């Protein structure tokens, strides 16, 4: 399971979002605050806090909060399935 | 034989008719037709570039196939990719050696090759099996002179199977070409106020703030008209051939921040630098091993990326400083927006005006030859004093420069937002006629594009 609250907390902090703004429907192309610097900052924080690394092409393809969440979900499932995965 | 020369069109029009006739009937082999015309174009313009494309292209072609045969994620794969990237960079650096050989637009095919190597090594795309198809993409004459930078997976399928010609898309392509020619004419006309002012920067005696602003606005207009003008011609030629590629400019002077400006100006280079330089530097495998605070990592990666883009414009301290200047502005904006309280009402007009002012200040780096000249120009701009030549002629020149800045932007905004108007409607043809007349009356033949040969 994704550490949902932690991911949402990181996302809100990076994007400077109000607490009452729902994050699930946020799409990068429609949300001007999500520029390339904030995108990089978001990935860096996820790497640091959740210990999840992405490949370059994956980073470029993340274009919505939902996609980010499902990518992390997939990565954590893979990690649980293979305990030897660094 | 540049794309705005009569010789080019004398050769291109018969080629286009044959190409369209062949592609429509046979439906295959169109990429070989483009390859043939590209070879002819390069023989006229720069045989060295043709040789460099064939040699480096062949090396990368074989290397990519070898990389694909190696296990994914292996060290050997990364080493081979690294070696091929070094080879590509060697070609790029070699092309910049003054008067050694005259190469044309090396960066535009080198960047395409680097992207291809990285994507194959990362398992994102499969290595190309057919050398003629592959080399037709690398050498495509449409984009070789001054971009935009295209990527193989984007271009190759279209070369193999170009979009059918129809009235609307052909009319749009013709409008783009005419618009590009008109912009090129505007850019050439603007060289007089730009060269006149910057030739005397740092010399004895101030020229006056009004003259400085006129020259700086003319410089901004000249850059946009020249570079986006070339892109318009390239995309128009591509459109006639059935190749539909993404825009390279989206009215950059209407941007509300420096970062947004970079996403609207020379878009293909910005995205290339973002994908293949900034992301690996900031978030790549090796970057993860470096234990420095995240903001510092981001700032360093961004600065290196923009310095690279600066050096792409020319090897000099001013180009390097221009990269640092832009990185500093972007990082400052990033921090300021973080500090802004939620719900803070921002004025788009103010943001656009401030961004335009900062971008113009940055352009001074690219037009002067040392920190002293940059400082002298900045000082003159903000001294608010009249120069010795303050008369009606100067005011008229200022007005014309403003028009040269505003009209192409407004027309491009209209084109991007109401494209249908230019797809064979009377309005589009009327504008095209006006632009063509303007080009024929005022064109200055023989002048190269500013970004030719980059």
Using CA atoms, how far apart are residues B358 and B326, in angstroms rounded to an integer?
9
Q: Per-residue pLDDT for B378 more than 70?
A: yes
Calculate what percentage of chain A has a pLDDT beyond 70.
Answer: 90
- Structure tokens that stand for B130 in this block: 């057919």
Q: Per-residue pLDDT for B102 more than 90?
A: no
pLDDT category of residue B369 using cuts at 50, 70 and 90: confident
- Residue A67 belongs to some domain of the structure: yes
Q: Minimal CA–CA distance to B141: which of B70, B241, B57?
A: B241
Task: State which residue of chain A sits closest to B270, comparing Cα positions.
Answer: A36
Task: State which residue of chain B sits closest to A57, comparing Cα positions.
Answer: B124
B298 to A41: CB separation less than 8 angstroms, yes or no: yes
Closest partner CB to A53 (pick from B118, B288, B337) = B288
- Residue A85 belongs to some domain of the structure: no
Q: Per-residue pLDDT for B376 more than 80?
A: yes
* CB of B327 closer than 8 Å to CB of B307: yes
A40 to B282: CB separation less than 8 angstroms, yes or no: yes
- Residue A17 belongs to some domain of the structure: yes
Span B91-109, mean pLDDT? Answer: 72
Residues of A within 8 A of B330 (CB-CB) are 37
**Residue B276: per-residue pLDDT:** 93
> What domain range is A67 assigned to?
4-80
Task: State which residue of chain A sits closest to B124, comparing Cα positions.
Answer: A57
Angle between helices B131-138 and B47-69 (to 10 degrees): 130
Span B245-253, mean pLDDT? Answer: 91
B292 versus B262: the higher-pLDDT residue is B262
Q: Per-residue pLDDT for A6 more than 50?
A: yes
**Residue B279 sits at the chain A interface (C-beta within 8 Å):** yes
Q: Count CA atoms closer than 13 A to B54's CA, side-chain side.
A: 11
Q: Minimal CA–CA distance to B182: which of B437, B449, B435?
A: B435
Residues of B within 8 A of A33 (CB-CB) are 337
* CB of B62 closer than 8 Å to CB of B113: no
Span B122-143, mean pLDDT? Answer: 89
**Residue A74 sits at the chain B interface (C-beta within 8 Å):** no
A57 to B124: CB separation less than 8 angstroms, yes or no: yes
3-state helix, strand, coil in chain A (%, to 5): 60, 0, 35
Task: State which residue of chain B sits closest to A34, comparing Cα positions.
Answer: B334
Using CA atoms, how far apart are residues A66 and B90, in angstroms rounded to an integer?
42
Q: Which of A14, A21, A38, A40 to mutate to test the interface with B (most CBs of B within 10 A)?
A: A40
Closest partner CB to B288 (pick from A16, A37, A47) = A47
Q: Where are the beta strands (DSSP E) in chain A?
A: none
**Residue B124 sits at the chain A interface (C-beta within 8 Å):** yes
Smallest CA–CA distance, residue A44 to chain B, in Å, is 6
Closest partner CB to B294 (pick from A36, A45, A55) = A45
- Residue A69 belongs to some domain of the structure: yes
Query: At A29, which CATH number?
Result: 1.10.1200.10
- Residue A19 belongs to some domain of the structure: yes
Using CA atoms, how far apart are residues B103 and B122, in angstroms rounded to an integer?
30
**Residue A2: per-residue pLDDT:** 57
Using CA atoms, how far apart are residues B352 and B148, in angstroms rounded to an integer?
25
**Residue B186: per-residue pLDDT:** 93
**Residue B330 sits at the chain A interface (C-beta within 8 Å):** yes
**Residue A82: per-residue pLDDT:** 54
Q: Which of B119, B282, B309, B342 to mutate to test the interface with A (most CBs of A within 10 A)?
A: B282
Residues of B within 8 A of A59 (CB-CB) are 279, 283
Interface of A with B in 13-32 (CB under 8 A): 16, 18
Model confidence pLDDT, tens digit, residues A31-46: 888 888 899 999 998 9
B185 versus B6: the higher-pLDDT residue is B185
Mention every residue, 6+ apart, whose C-beta is less than 8 A from residue B104: B42, B45, B46, B49, B144, B145, B452, B453
Number of structural domains chain A divides into: 1
Q: How many residues does chain B have?
A: 454
**Residue A86: per-residue pLDDT:** 40
Q: Per-residue pLDDT for B422 more than 60?
A: yes
Coil vs helix vs strand at A64 = strand
| CA dihedral (A23, A28, A33, A38) positive or negative | positive
Q: Per-residue pLDDT for B390 more than 50?
A: yes
Task: Report the predicted TM-score, pTM, of the whole model to 2 decimal places.
Answer: 0.87
Q: Which of A56, A62, A71 to mutate to test the interface with B (most CBs of B within 10 A)?
A: A56
- Residue A24 belongs to some domain of the structure: yes
Q: What is the DSSP string of B22-36?
A: HHHHH-S-HHHHHHH
- Residue A57 belongs to some domain of the structure: yes
Closest partner CB to A44 (pick from B122, B275, B294) = B294
B314 versus B84: the higher-pLDDT residue is B84
**Residue A81: per-residue pLDDT:** 67
Smallest CA–CA distance, residue B279 to chain A, in Å, is 6
pLDDT category of residue B212 using cuts at 50, 70 and 90: confident
Smallest CA–CA distance, residue A17 to chain B, in Å, is 8
**Residue B107: per-residue pLDDT:** 82
**Residue A67 sits at the chain B interface (C-beta within 8 Å):** no
Q: Minimal CA–CA distance to B244: which of B321, B168, B346?
A: B168
Q: Which of A44, A53, A58, A62 to mutate to test the interface with B (most CBs of B within 10 A)?
A: A44
Calculate what percentage of chain B has a pLDDT beyond 70.
Answer: 92
B221 versus B164: the higher-pLDDT residue is B221
How crowded is residue B188: how many other Cβ atoms within 10 Å of its Cβ? 22
Inter-chain CB pairs, A–B, below 8 Å:
56
- Residue A76 belongs to some domain of the structure: yes
Q: Per-residue pLDDT for B118 more than 50?
A: yes
**Residue B130 sits at the chain A interface (C-beta within 8 Å):** no
A40 to B288: CB separation less than 8 angstroms, yes or no: no
Closest partner CB to A48 (pick from B119, B280, B294) = B294
User: What ipTM was reported for this prediction?
Assistant: 0.81
B223 versus A23: the higher-pLDDT residue is B223
Residues of B within 8 A of A53 (CB-CB) are 285, 288
Smallest CA–CA distance, residue A28 to chain B, in Å, is 14
Give the lowest-confidence range in B25-34, B111-120, B186-195: B25-34
Q: Per-residue pLDDT for B178 more than 70?
A: yes
């Amino acid at each position: 399971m994704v550490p949902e609250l932690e991911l949402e907390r990181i996302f809100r902090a990076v994007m400077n979002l109000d607490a009452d703004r729902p994050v699930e429907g946020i799409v990068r192309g429609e949300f001007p605050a999500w520029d390339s610097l904030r995108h990089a900052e978001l990935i860096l924080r996820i790497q640091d806090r959740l210990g999840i690394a992405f490949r370059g092409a994956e980073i470029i393809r993340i274009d919505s909060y939902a996609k980010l969440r499902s990518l992390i979900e997939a990565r954590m499932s893979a990690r649980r399935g293979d305990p030897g995965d660094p | 034989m540049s794309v705005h020369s009569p010789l080019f069109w004398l050769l291109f029009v018969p080629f286009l008719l044959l190409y369209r006739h062949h592609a429509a009937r046979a439906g295959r082999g169109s990429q070989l037709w483009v390859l043939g015309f590209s070879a002819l174009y390069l023989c006229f313009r720069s045989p060295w570039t043709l040789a460099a494309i064939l040699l480096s292209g062949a090396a990368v072609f074989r290397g990519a196939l070898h990389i694909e045969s190696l296990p994914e994620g292996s060290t050997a794969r990364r080493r081979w990719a690294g070696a091929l990237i070094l080879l590509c960079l060697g070609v790029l650096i070699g092309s910049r050696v003054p008067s050694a050989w005259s190469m044309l637009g090396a960066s535009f095919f080198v960047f395409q090759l680097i992207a291809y190597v990285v994507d194959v090594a990362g398992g994102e795309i499969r290595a190309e099996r057919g050398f003629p198809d592959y080399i037709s993409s690398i050498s495509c004459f449409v984009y070789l002179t001054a971009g935009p930078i295209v990527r193989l997976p984007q271009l190759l399928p279209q070369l193999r199977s170009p979009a059918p010609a129809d009235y609307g898309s052909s009319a749009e392509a013709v409008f783009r070409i005419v618009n590009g020619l008109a912009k090129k004419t505007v850019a050439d006309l603007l060289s007089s106020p730009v060269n006149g002012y910057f030739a005397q920067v740092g010399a004895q005696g101030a020229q006056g703030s009004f003259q400085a602003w006129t020259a700086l606005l003319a410089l901004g207009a000249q850059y946009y008209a020249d570079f986006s003008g070339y892109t318009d011609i390239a995309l128009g030629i591509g459109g006639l051939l059935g190749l539909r590629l993404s825009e390279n400019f989206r009215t950059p002077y209407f941007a509300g921040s420096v970062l947004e400006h970079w996403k609207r100006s020379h878009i293909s280079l910005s995205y290339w630098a973002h994908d293949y330089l900034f992301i690996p530097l900031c978030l790549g495998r090796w970057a993860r091993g470096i234990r420095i605070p995240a903001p510092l990592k981001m700032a360093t990666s961004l600065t290196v990326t923009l310095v690279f883009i600066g050096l792409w414009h020319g090897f000099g301290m001013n180009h390097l400083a221009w990269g640092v200047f832009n990185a500093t502005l972007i990082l400052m904006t990033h921090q300021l927006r973080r500090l802004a309280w939620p719900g803070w009402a921002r004025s788009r007009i103010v943001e656009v005006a401030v961004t335009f002012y900062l971008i113009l200040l940055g352009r001074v780096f690219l037009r002067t030859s040392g920190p002293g000249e940059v400082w002298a120009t900045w000082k003159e701009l903000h001294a608010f004093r009249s120069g010795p030549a303050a008369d009606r002629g100067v005011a008229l020149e200022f007005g014309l420069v403003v028009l040269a800045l505003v009209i192409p932007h407004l027309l491009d905004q209209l084109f991007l937002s109401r494209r249908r108007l230019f797809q064979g409607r009377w309005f589009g043809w009327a504008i095209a006629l006006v632009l063509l007349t303007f080009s024929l009356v005022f064109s200055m033949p023989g002048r190269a594009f500013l970004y030719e040969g980059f």
